[in-house]
């Protein structure tokens, strides 16, 4: 669904024909970014490869899935480290990396290792501005995009009852998508269940 189409449906859902395109676009983009932090859809998966011990995270990075490096004929999966754990390995040298630490918009592997690493992550939906713009949420999960934007609209209107109703519907839709995506991964052997943690959708203001 394109931005202009989503905007029209959102105005109808909120029963507000007086809202400007700018206001509706704001609700839509904020809703997409919120959902981007919790959805585990296959369409949200991305990866990036680097040869640096402390690379910048991809611009569209939302949440980490896992990090690997080549090992023999296969791959070794690095473990997430706390700052305390990383400090213990910061002075180690001539050793392959065993873990990683994400800090702000960058990450580092420990021990420091500039060999090839691959980060697998969930990406943020791209921001929509032109009428014909789309992102992976509006294309594959248009209803989720709509109700996420409606939550934002209800927050702006200070309509707690509508917010709760939109929130309940949205949470159910996201749960269905996440469960189906996890089922597909388990069935294909793509990743272990341990790569995913339970998350709760908590819209702003609740």
Q: Please state, in angstroms and as integers, the Cα–Cα distance from residue 120 to each residue in 57, 107, 123, following that order.
A: 11, 13, 10
Q: Is the pLDDT of residue 205 over 80?
A: no
- What confidence tens digit (pLDDT) does each residue in 41-96 have? 999 999 999 998 899 999 999 999 999 999 989 999 999 999 999 998 887 766 78
Residues 120-134: pLDDT tens digits? 999 999 999 999 999
**pLDDT value of position 82:** 95
Question: Domain residue spans in the chain?
Answer: 3-37+127-195, 45-122
pLDDT at residue number 91: 77
* Gap between the Cα atoms of 44 and 24, Å rounded: 24
- Predicted pLDDT at 95: 78
Report pLDDT digits (tens) over 142-185: 999 999 999 999 999 999 999 999 999 999 999 999 999 999 98
- Return the closest-CA partner of residue 101 out of 112, 92, 116: 112
What is the mean pLDDT of the segment spanning 23-32? Answer: 98
Interior CA angle at 165 toward 17 and 184, to 5°?
A: 110
Residues 193-202: contacts with CB under 8 Å, at least 24 apart: 195/65, 195/66, 196/40, 196/65, 199/38, 200/38, 201/34, 201/38, 201/167, 201/170, 201/171, 201/174
Whether 29 contacts 127, CB under 8 Å: yes
> What pairing do the DSSP bridges indicate for beta strands 45-50 and 61-71?
unpaired
pLDDT for 196 beyond 50: no
pLDDT at 114 over 80: yes
**Average model confidence (pLDDT) for the chain?**
90
Rounded CA-CA distance 100/83 in Å is 10
Using only C-alpha atoms, the chain has a radius of gyration, in whole angstroms, of 20
The whole-angstrom separation of Cα 128 and Cα 146 is 13
Q: Is 9 exposed, middle or buried (0-12, 13-18, 19+ CB in 10 A)?
A: middle
pTM of the predicted structure, to 2 decimals:
0.83
């Amino acid at each position: 669904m394109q931005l202009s189409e989503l905007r029209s449906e959102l105005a109808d859902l909120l029963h507000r024909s007086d809202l400007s395109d700018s206001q509706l676009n704001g609700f839509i983009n904020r809703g997409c970014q919120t959902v981007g932090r919790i959805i585990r859809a296959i369409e949200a998966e991305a990866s990036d490869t680097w040869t640096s011990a402390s690379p910048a995270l991809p611009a569209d990075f939302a949440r980490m899935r896992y990090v690997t490096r080549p090992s023999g004929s296969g791959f070794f999966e690095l473990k997430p480290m706390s700052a305390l754990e990383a400090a213990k390995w910061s002075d180690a040298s001539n050793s392959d990396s065993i873990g990683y630490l994400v800090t702000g918009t960058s990450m580092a592997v420990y021990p420091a290792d500039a060999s090839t690493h691959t980060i697998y992550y969930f990406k943020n939906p791209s921001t929509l501005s032109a009428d014909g713009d789309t992102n992976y949420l509006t294309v594959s999960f248009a209803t989720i995009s709509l109700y996420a934007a409606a939550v934002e609209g209800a927050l702006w209107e200070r309509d707690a009852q509508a917010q709760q109703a939109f929130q309940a519907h949205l949470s159910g839709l996201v749960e269905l998508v996440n469960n189906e995506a996890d089922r597909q991964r388990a069935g294909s052997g793509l990743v272990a269940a341990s790569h995913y943690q339970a998350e709760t959708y908590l819209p702003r203001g609740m």
